[in-house]
Amino acid sequence: MVEHYFSADPSVPFRRVPVRARVWDRDLDLVSGSGVFAQGRLDVGTAVLFRETEPPSAARYLDLGCGYGVIGLALATAVDDAQVRGVDVNERALLLATENAAALGVGDRFRATLSDAVPPDEAYDEIWSNPPIRIGKDALHELLLTWLPRLVTGGRAVLVVGKNLGADSLQRWLGEQGYPTERLASAKGFRVLEARRP
């Protein structure tokens, strides 16, 4: 069986791998690991996301598909009063994200959990994500339609998606679902999209 980073419990032997990520003019020293997306590096899409955006100033964030936590932890360290929820299906990723939050001193403001552990009434000012496109279009649409309704009125989702992986069609689809979406940037084959909840 071929395993993916979106496997719930990867069977590949667990090995921690350090990562230094340059995010919004600061360095984050993190730990990634085998069986987790972008082991040992900051992936190109997420690097584009950071390079093409400014640190936001909202209060409640969701890091959707958080992996080892780099997006959510960037938000937690850039915004002093940020409360960040990271969700992922990969239990190894959640462990690493939790460890990284503690190491950065933001463990009280960043929580990484399975989606089932999120209270049903929890809402967000912003959702940030390098979404797991490779789970397939139908599964991706279901994922987004699960979480986008949790945005507060006027809230936004900031997504980075490969152009060759359907960024432009995703932008159109989001608009059709009632989330007007604009392209904030395009770089290195990726689009940074901003979807709003009216």
Give tens-digit pLDDT for 151-180. Answer: 999 999 999 999 988 899 999 999 999 999
Rounded CA-CA distance 161/194 in Å is 11
DSSP 145: H
Q: What is the pLDDT of residues 57-79, one digit of tens each?
A: 989 999 999 999 999 999 999 99
Q: What is the pLDDT of residues 5-51, one digit of tens each?
A: 444 455 566 788 899 999 999 999 999 987 776 666 688 999 999 99
Rounded CA-CA distance 14/42 in Å is 19
Rounded CA-CA distance 91/114 in Å is 8
- Cite the beta strand spans of the chain per DSSP E: 16-23, 26-33, 60-64, 83-87, 110-113, 124-129, 151-162, 181-187, 190-196
pLDDT value for 36: 79
Architecture of domain 44-196: 3-Layer(aba) Sandwich (3.40)
- Does the pLDDT of residue 98 top 60, yes or no? yes
Q: What is the pLDDT of residues 133-145, one digit of tens each?
A: 889 999 999 999 9
Which residues, 6 or more positions from 132, have their beta carbon under 8 angstroms from its beta carbon?
Answer: 5, 6, 37, 65, 140, 143
Rounded CA-CA distance 20/7 in Å is 25
Give the predicted TM-score (pTM) of the model: 0.91
DSSP 139: H
- Does the pLDDT of residue 53 top 70, yes or no? yes
Of residues 1 and 97, more confidence is placed in: 97
For the chain, give every domain's residue range: 44-196
pLDDT value for 11: 56
pLDDT value for 33: 87
The answer to whether the beta carbons of residues 152 and 124 sit under 8 Å apart is yes
Find the helix or strand (DSSP H, E) in which 27 lies: strand 26-33
